Amino acid sequence: MKQLLLTQGKVIVESVPSPLVEAGTILVRVDHSCVSIGTELAGVRSSGEPTWKRALAHPDEVRQVLKMVKEQGLKRIHRMVKTKLTSGTALGYSAAGTILEVGDGVTDLRVGDSVACAGAQCAHHAEIIRIPKNLAVKIPEGMDFAKASTVTLGAIATQGIRRLAPTLGESFVVIGLGIIGQITAQLLKANGCRVIGMDLDRNRIQLALQLGADVAFHPDDEEAIEQVMRLTEGFGADGVVVAAASSHSALMSQAFRMCRKKGRVVLVGDVGLNLNREDIFKKELDFLISTSYGPGRYDPSYEEGGNDYPLSYVRWTENRNMSEYLRLVAESRIDVMPLISKVVDVDQASEAYAELKDGNGDLIVLLHYPVDEQRDVQTRKIANLSAHARQNGALRVALVGAGGFAKGMHLPNIESLPGKFKLHAVMSRTGHNAQTTAKQFGAAYATTDLSEITNDRDVDVLLVATRHNLHASVVLNGLRAGKHVIVEKPLALKQSEVDEILDYYQLNPNGPVLLTGFNRRFSPHIKRIHEIVSERSNPMIMNYRMNAGHVPLDNWVHGGEGGGRNLGEACHIYDIFTFLSGARVKAISAFAINPSTGYYGASDNFVASMQFEDGSVATLTYTALGSKSHPKERMEIYVDGKVLLMDDYKTLEIVGSRQKGLKTRVMDKGQKQELVEFAGCVLAGGEWPIPLWQQIQATEIALRVEEQIQQ
């Protein structure tokens, strides 16, 4: 399918794999999508700026990158940043079309329904889009797709009106008569209000008057505050909607000074907010922010999870705002057609964006997606004509899940081992991500369909880097297809999933190699510790402290996709204990802090202790209570009169022995060595990098600890 992508200041039309429907979503064949000129062009311009200039605008991110360089080295972080900056970004957040497929759990929408869709994460400029059910609404009977494709902009303006709470007969100023301002003015008229508009563009002023504004003026023609006072009999406006974009704070000061006492100002646009207390204080004004389309926006449980807010408690959600806007358009209470400057076919989109960058005064530009009966828009596999050549004997890898960690860590490591690995395919649930990743790293093709990979005889290895809840099912699919598998930790989130994997190997004892990404055991520090303790004459005491840092509870890591921090991260340490002891676990006990506030989760802070059959005892202290400025990981081992102290995978100190420790310039957690040993095993037919029983044990320890800390 065709999709618009933004890369380094240029908008291109790219062929990418089409998405698959998922539970709680619909697939929509787009007829029209709406270009948000202000928002999108700002992104286009910033994307084309030099890296140094973009860095100056985001000093916090620069500090984070410098910290990562110190810990992980310049070369790796440079590649990570470069990959992120050159990745194609999807554009668009407002579209309309026809439903092609409906996922499980969607009951109020049907195949063939005409729908309008919103969401910067999904309603892209593309021929086919996958939309969560709460971000799609039916189009009223008789309304065309062109009008309906403006639904997101209409919902934004509608939410601004909700925040303003206008009443019949009040007077309001709308500052900024762009798309949102023009719709806002019409909504205010529909509420029986008097509307005063202000803008720097005289054509927009005339358009606002044509569409019903009572007064509209250019600030150069009239002293704005005096003009508003004259028009409101000296009292001032009941309220002001700021729908403009400006880096200056003077605009907000002007808005406050236009108001009567106890008036209100609603900010919808993007302006400077260096506020003057006197502007607000004397009149006791209300200053309100309008957040995008309405309640539900930026709430993953609403937008992605499909959990609606009860109407009795939240009357107007973003979905209901979208529906109401379409109803008003259908009833001609809002006239959107005069706001549409032009409609262009998607193939001419690059030229249209180039014209918009020149500032030609357009308000709304729509993209049209003509139906071509000769072309299959639902193709889920796209070849990369610039794929890199493969060295003879290298394992052909298919990446499943092209997230930030895979692109920042695994793919650069694979690229640095050309004699052992060759990236052959990239699979991602979003086609543009799969396609841009395949191009960046020279894969033969990109796909959104796992079966394309499992059925591909040229694929030797699956590298699974999806979210945690999908790991076990993808592993089993890969193994059953005869593929070797490297899966990021955790191996599984449920005991039943572990049992399925064990059952597979019971029936296929010589099956493909499986490696769970417990990479820390492959670090030079842990390998050195293993060399030392493998010669011990007594059991060990192992203490590991992970100062993990706080992760907000709405992060996916804590939910069903992640399984929580014990299952998702602490499993690394259970593997280290298993590796160093070389023994089966005998007993496990775990205790968690019961959070007294909602800031921490149940698996954020706990202590887990275990005894192994060789007599060794190990304890993990996992906490989010500490400071991120303190080193993250530290391990102490007491054995045979020695103390082994490993600090954050940079230093290993040995006390009580002449045996040498280890110091590395940067943090090394073994990710590259993990791949090296996997390749050696598969290509040479040697022992598995991690025996299956140890992978299973580390996973089952995590599951048993989880049971105890949840209780």
User: How far is Cα 338 from Cα 336, in angstroms, rounded to an integer?
Assistant: 6
**Could you tell me which of 419, 362, 359, 350 has the C-alpha nearest to residue 389?**
419
Whether the per-residue pLDDT at 445 is higher than 90: the answer is yes
DSSP state letter for 639:
E
Q: How many CB atoms lie within 10 A of CB 664?
A: 14
Least confident segment among 383-392, 511-520, 542-551, 633-642: 383-392
The one-letter code for the residue type at 423 is: L
- What structural domains and CATH numbers belong to the chain? 2-150+336-368 (3.90.180.10), 157-289 (3.40.50.720), 381-516 (3.40.50.720), 519-670+690-710 (3.30.360.10)
For residues 265 and 256, the answer to whether their CB atoms sit within 8 Å is yes
Rounded Cα distance between 334 and 328, Å, is: 6
Q: Mean per-residue pLDDT for 446-470? A: 97
Distances, alpha carbon 66 to alpha carbons 71, 627, 708, in Å:
9, 19, 39
Q: 8 falls in which pLDDT band (50, 70, 90)?
A: confident
The separation between CA 618 and the C-alpha centre of its own chain, rounded to angstroms, equals 36
User: Amino acid letter at 610?
Assistant: M
Pairwise CA distance, residues 150 & 134, whole Å: 17
How far separated are the first and last CA of the chain, in Å rounded? 49
DSSP for residue 493: S
| Residue pLDDT, tens place only, 11-50 | 999 999 999 999 999 999 999 999 988 777 776 666 555 5
**pLDDT at residue 301 is higher than 70:** yes
Residues β-bridged to residue 446:
382, 426
211 vs 189: CA distance, rounded Å: 10
- Bridge-partner residues for 197, per DSSP? 174, 216
DSSP conformation letters of 574-606: HHHHHHHH-S-EEEEEEEE---SSTTS-TTSSE
* Of 77-81, 612-616, 694-698, the least confident: 77-81
Summarize pLDDT for 253-283 with one digit per residue, the tens: 999 999 999 999 999 998 989 999 999 999 9
User: Listing from the earlier edge strand, what are the strands of the sheet with 10-15?
Assistant: 10-15, 2-7, 89-90
Please state, in angstroms and rounded to a whole number, the distance separating the CA atoms of residues 295 and 211: 28
Q: How many CB atoms lie within 10 A of CB 554?
A: 12
According to DSSP, residue 21 is labeled P
- pLDDT value of residue 52: 46
Where is 498: in which H helix or E strand?
helix 495-507
Per-residue model confidence (pLDDT) at position 57: 58
Q: Tens digit of pLDDT for each residue in 660-691? A: 999 998 899 999 999 999 999 999 988 999 99
pLDDT value at position 601?
85
The answer to whether the CB of 384 falls within 8 A of the CB of 442 is yes
Q: How far apart are CA 48 and CA 31, in angstroms?
A: 29
Q: Is the preceding omega at residue 300 within 30 degrees of 0, hence cis?
A: no
Helix (H, G, I), strand (E, B) or coil at 193: coil
The pairing of strands 94-102 and 25-36 is: antiparallel
Alpha-helical (H) ranges within 211-260 are 224-231, 250-258
Q: Is 644 helix (H, G, I), strand (E, B) or coil?
A: strand
User: What's the CA gap between 554 and 599, in Å, rounded?
Assistant: 10
Q: For residues 516 and 683, what is the distance between their CA atoms, to the nearest angstrom?
A: 18
The pLDDT tens digits of the residues spanning 484-532 come to 999 999 999 999 999 999 999 999 999 999 999 999 999 999 999 999 9
Summarize pLDDT for 109-152 with one digit per residue, the tens.
Answer: 999 999 999 999 999 999 999 999 999 999 999 999 999 999 99
CB count, 10 Å around CB of 66? Answer: 11
Which two structure tokens, joined as six digits, stand for 519?
């990479």
- The pLDDT of residue 595 is 82
Q: Name the percent of the chain lying above pLDDT 90.
A: 82
pLDDT band, very low/low/confident/very high, at 5 (cuts 50, 70, 90): very high
Confidence of residue 389 (pLDDT cuts 50, 70, 90): confident
**Average of per-residue pLDDT values in the chain:** 93
**Which tokens sit at 70?**
């110190």
Neighbours of 19 (CB within 10 A): 28
Confidence bin at 325 (pLDDT 50/70/90):
very high
Residue 364, φ and ψ in degrees, nearest 5:
-120, 130
Axis-axis angle for helices 571-581, 524-533 (nearest 10):
30
Q: How far apart are CA 492 and CA 511, in angstroms?
A: 19
Q: Using alpha carbons, select from 656, 675, 653, 674 the residue that is nearest to residue 664.
A: 653
At 233 the three-state DSSP class reads coil
Spatial distance between the Cα atoms of 380 and 415, rounded to a whole number of angstroms: 25
Q: Are strands 128-132 and 585-592 parallel, antiparallel or unpaired?
A: unpaired
pLDDT for 570-627, tens place per residue? 999 999 999 999 999 999 999 999 888 888 988 899 999 999 999 999 999 999 999 9
CB-based contact 47:7 (threshold 8 Å): yes
The partner residues of 288 in beta bridges, in order of sequence, read: 266
CA distance 142 to 136: 18
Comparing CA positions, the residue from 707, 699, 702 lying closest to residue 501 is 699
Reported as a single tens digit per residue, the pLDDT across 420-444 is: 999 999 999 999 999 999 999 999 9
In whole angstroms, give the CA distance from residue 514 to residue 530: 22
User: How would you classify the pairing of strands 89-90 and 245-246?
Assistant: unpaired
What is residue 629's predicted lDDT score, i.e. its pLDDT?
87
Dist CA 241 CA 296 (whole Å): 22
> Across the strands, what pairs with 26?
102, 131
- Confidence (pTM): 0.89
Residue 298 has pLDDT above 50, yes or no: yes
Do residues 236 and 260 lie in contact, with contact meaning Cβ atoms separated by under 8 Å? yes
pLDDT value for 38: 74
